[in-house]
Amino acid sequence: MARHLITSALPYINGIKHLGNMVGSMLPADVYARYLRQRGHDVLYICATDEHGTPAELAAKEQGLPVAEFCASAHDAQKAIYDGFALAFDHFGRSSSPQNAELTQHFARRLNENGFIEERAIRQVYSPADGRFLPDRYVEGTCPHCGYDKARGDQCENCTRVLDPTDLINPRSAISGSTELEVRETSHLFLLQSKLQGEVEAWIDEVADEWPQLASSIARKWLTEGLHDRAITRDLDWGVPVPADTWPTLAADGKVFYVWFDAPIEYIGSTKEWADAAPEENRDWKSWWYEPAGASDVRYTEFMAKDNVPFHSVMFPATEMGVREPWKKVDQLKAFNWLTYYGGKFSTSQKRGVFTDQALDILPADYWRYFLIANAPESDDSSFTWEHFTATVNKDLADTLGNFVNRVLSFSKKRFGEEVPAGAEAGAPEAKLGDEIASLLSDYETQMETLQFRKAAAALRALWSAGNSYLEEKAPWLEIKTNPEGAALTLRTAMNLIHLYAVVSEPFIPSSSAAMRAAFALPNDTATWVTQEEAKSLDSLPAGTPFTVPPVLFAKITDEDLETYKERFGGAPE
């Protein structure tokens, strides 16, 4: 049985993420990791905050904090939100960790020894007032294309055109505001990706057929356009320093590695953090990443939105190949399109859209987890609307699942007491139901194993619906008048369905699943999954088992709630 290494795109440190970030990487990775753990696999789910780069320094400056202090605080704030969403990371690290610095410098030295790094002189904007070279984002000005006066030196946020700092009209330093800027010569390290193009192409031909079309097409497009040598250092105060033993002059100039060089290495760094955090457990981090240390039996799956695909499908594998060491490369890359808000961008400044901290203030995590995965932007972009969210929560969660649980347990308690009733022997309707549940469960497993999340949600919903259809067909509220034993059988079968739902729904709605499972006093209930035989027989919950009626699992969203949410977060554009 393969071990499963799972990573999701590192959330950037400057600010709380919106729902699109959640569904495009961390949440589906968590759902998959939970599922694999339940099926008995050895799973390691690793993530971290991405803390280096210009935006981190600028965000710290805006808050008047040292960048290290800002990043530490922002990491804790993000981690608290992910805990609130019940993301079960094995470790959630920091790219500013000593482990990542050590590994990044190791990778750079090895690339240099193998002839894949070159020092080159380039011309760059310099600010005498600040006494430093300015990275792209430290230069602001007016966009020459649309006239937006707060465009950055790498891209205009308004019209999205890619820019060079020298393109800007009336450029100024983002640090001091000084307009007295010069263009001077300085040196940086370049990763010679062009020399690795053939190796990356051969590897992509080997592995990418297993990837979703979105991921493989992006990777192949980049390779078709040709891999270009890329600067991997920047003039920043915050980052992994260039090692003085290899590049003494650049180190003396304070150069640090570019965030997109060190960030993917943090997947390995965070795994080492995980090992170092519990030395008494003798965790072997290298066995997950380094082939001679045992990583040959690891299946590595990455989750990310489409904008991150080039870095993880082409650039980081090129880095791994260039070090000429047997580091584990990705086996499956699950990429997602965008989640939009009524067809437009989420925007903090324009107060449009729901961000993850706000989401948890409004409703419990399971509402969001289920909706987002059931509507994951897999084949195309998908749009969040409050109307769609409300309809999904009310129909799927409140009516189909929550109401089923409540009415079965409430009715059984009222007519048969607080223990699972025995009733008659199972008959043809129960056999038919068992076959249907086994078939639906098999479909659910297939969709989960092939990372088809929307289809997995549909299969889970079909499992819930099957219980409702059985209940409507048997109608125990009528059956009890003429056949109490038959009604008891119906309710016992339905309670077995509730227990089955509690087990198999856990990857999607872990808190609600725990509440369903806790309704039954089964001291030896150690089941992590449901076998096909158990699904067919529906008798794992014996008669006489004490039970309680849990609080309402999912409250319906009212029309008044809907209008309140739209007013607070913005509705459809005018």
Annotated binding site for ATP: 348
pLDDT tens for each residue of 367-383: 999 999 999 999 999 99
With cut-offs at 50, 70 and 90, classify the pLDDT of residue 352: confident
Q: Mean of the pLDDT values across residues 277-295?
A: 94
Q: Mean of the pLDDT values across residues 379-401?
A: 97
Closest to 339 measured CA to CA, from 354, 349, 360: 354
Which amino acid would we find at residue 565?
Y
According to DSSP, the β-strands at 230-231 and 182-191 are: antiparallel
Walk me through the domains of the chain, giving residue ranges and CATH numbers: 3-113+262-336 (3.40.50.620), 117-191 (2.170.220.10), 386-537 (1.10.730.10)
Annotated binding site for Zn(2+): 143, 146, 156, 159
Average pLDDT, the chain: 95
Tell which wins on pLDDT, 530 or 571: 530
pLDDT tens for each residue of 55-65: 898 899 889 99
Answer for the pair 138, 173: CB distance below 8 angstroms, yes or no. Answer: yes
Annotated binding site: 143, 146, 156, 159, 348
H helices of 226-337, in order, are 248-252, 259-276, 286-289, 309-310, 316-322
Tell which wins on pLDDT, 157 or 233: 233
Position 523 pLDDT exceeds 90: no
Chain centroid to Cα 515, Å, comes to 24
**How many CB atoms are closer than 10 A to CB 531?**
12
Q: What is the structure's pLDDT at 46? A: 98
What are 189's strand-pairing partners? 119
Question: At CA 530, angle to CA 463 and CA 89, rounded to 5?
Answer: 90
User: What's this model's pTM, rounded to 2 decimal places?
Assistant: 0.94
pLDDT tens for each residue of 239-269: 999 999 999 999 999 999 999 899 999 999 9
What's the token pair of residue 422? 């025995």
Answer for the pair 334, 306: CB distance below 8 angstroms, yes or no. Answer: no
With cut-offs at 50, 70 and 90, classify the pLDDT of residue 136: confident
What are 305's strand-pairing partners? 336
Distance, in Å, from the CA atom of 516 to the CA atom of 541, rounded to the nearest integer, reads 13
Q: Which residue has the tokens 């009890």?
A: 480
